[in-house]
Amino acid sequence: MRFHTLADWLAWQETLHPKEIDLGLDRVARVFGLMGLTDPGFTVITVAGTNGKGSTVAMLEAILRAAGYRVGSYTSPHLLRYNERIRIDGEEVADEELCASFARVDAARGETSITYFEFGTLAALDILQRRGVDIAILEVGLGGRLDAVNALAADVAVITPIDIDHVQWLGPDRESIGREKAGIMRPGRPVVCSDPAPPRVIADEAARVDAHLYQLGREFTCETVDGQWSWRCETRRRDALPLPALRGEYQVANAAGVLMALELLRDRFPVDQGAVRAGLATVQLAGRFQVLPGVPVQILDVAHNPHSARSLAQNLRQQPCGGRTLAVLAMLADKDIPAVVKAMEGVVDAWYLAGLDVPRGADAETLRAAVAAALPTASMQVFATVGDARRQALADAAITDRVVVFGSFHTVAAALAEAV
């Protein structure tokens, strides 16, 4: 074994490949074959999209576990611990198991240079195979077509809502980005799209590769009435469902996609109504409109692009507080900061802007300029760190105010690290 601690393994992996992001399947597929992962022995659901991936994975996991299946999941990025990325039956894998798997990946790769994400993906699949899961739910890291997760063919692919993000890698518009997401489709296999208004390329690519497309609003539908919702497709109807425990009206569309994916697997993994209700009612996911206990109210959200910021703003409008909304914002420099800020217009009363001391992190002055340009009359203060900004916001907040921390996984992680 090259290293004995998880921290040492992760630090080394970050230096192994010359590029932090280097999309392509050749490297990972080579090691994939050497590790015997091409036929892993479990059913695969692969989830791609811009927003809603994590929520979709969490709901799939919760419902399938409630139905009694042995479920593994792989997600990224993590908030506080790398171990969050790989779960077996809802439990994070231990450091020792990760280190042993990293050693197996290292031995198999030989002289092949692979990225940090590729290393982690190979380790995740190795662990899921060794643990003998019935079904694995895999979240694409970036894009879809060339993402390391796509080295393993999905039995059912799920594409969540698509918006403009990661333009330097995926393209400048929804059609370009949708084409990359559509890369997880496979000939003759089903793909579920829970984007209510997807780019045209999704249907075009499904037809081109002969994948069977199930589109929200066409092959399956959902309707919310009086605090419950119903779902139907050609073969089944589910009524009187509880709203997902994850907050936000948009989560119903994500849940509808989840139920369609499960319906497509019903012959292998039947799921009764009780398991659906239990999974929807108990699902949890940190950093998605996460409300911390205590006063003033603190809300943590990883919203980091215009679409997710609009969803956050909608949630805040639908759940008004008695006082002001104070926003702690920190973002990566390659995000559309002005559009994110503009999406929160009319919702935020005061801005607490912080720099992010991470690769690609925006400094506080960049955020100040973006807020000033988007909202010229906005009240704002500038801080060196998320912790400084959050502490000042809490100090300024009255008991009826609320503090919303958002803009990046890094932003939420910094807040959670102080709050726990």
Residue ranges of E strands in 246-363: 290-292, 297-301, 325-329, 350-354
CB 58 within 8 A of CB 246: yes
Distance CA 339, CA 304 (A): 10
Comparing CA positions, the residue from 315, 316, 300 lying closest to residue 348 is 316
pLDDT at 420: 66
pLDDT tens, residue order, the chain (420 aa):
789 899 999 999 999 988 887 788 899 999 999 998 988 999 999 999 999 999 999 999 999 999 999 999 999 999 999 999 999 999 999 999 999 999 999 999 999 999 999 999 999 999 999 999 999 999 999 888 989 999 999 999 999 999 877 777 678 888 999 999 999 999 999 999 999 999 999 999 999 999 999 999 999 999 999 889 999 999 999 999 999 999 888 999 999 999 999 999 999 999 999 999 999 999 999 999 999 999 999 999 999 999 999 999 999 999 889 999 999 999 999 999 999 999 999 999 999 999 999 988 999 999 999 999 999 999 999 999 999 999 999 999 999 999 999 999 999 999 999 876
> How far is the CA of 392 from the CAs of 68, 189, 370, 380, 402, in angstroms?
46, 52, 21, 12, 13
pLDDT at 90: 95
Distance CA 151, CA 115 (A): 14
Q: What angle do CA 201, 206, 208 make, to 5 degrees?
A: 90
CB 185 within 8 A of CB 211: yes
pLDDT at 326: 98
pLDDT at 22: 77
The pair of structure tokens assigned to 108 is 């198999």
Pairing of strands 86-88, 91-92: antiparallel
Terminal C-alpha separation, the chain: 33
Which helix (H) or strand (E) covers residue 63, if one does?
helix 53-66
Its pTM surpasses 0.85: yes
pLDDT at 400: 96
Distance CA 46, CA 185 (A): 9
Just give the CATH number of 290-419.
Answer: 3.90.190.20
Enumerate the CATH 3.90.190.20 domain ranges in the chain, comma separated.
Answer: 290-419
Which helix (H) or strand (E) covers residue 47, if one does?
strand 43-48
Enumerate the CATH 3.40.1190.10 domain ranges in the chain, comma separated.
Answer: 6-282
The pair of structure tokens assigned to 420 is 């726990």
Residue 326: helix, strand or coil by DSSP?
Answer: strand
Dihedral-angle region of residue 348 (phi above 0 means left; psi in -120 to 50 means alpha; beta otherwise):
beta
Comparing CA positions, the residue from 185, 131, 118 lying closest to residue 155 is 185
> How far is the CA of 391 from the CAs of 278, 356, 387, 401, 408, in angstroms?
37, 16, 6, 14, 18
- Residue 200: DSSP 8-state: T
Whether domain 6-282 has CATH 3.40.1190.10: the reply is yes
The strand pairing partners of 380, in sequence order, are 351
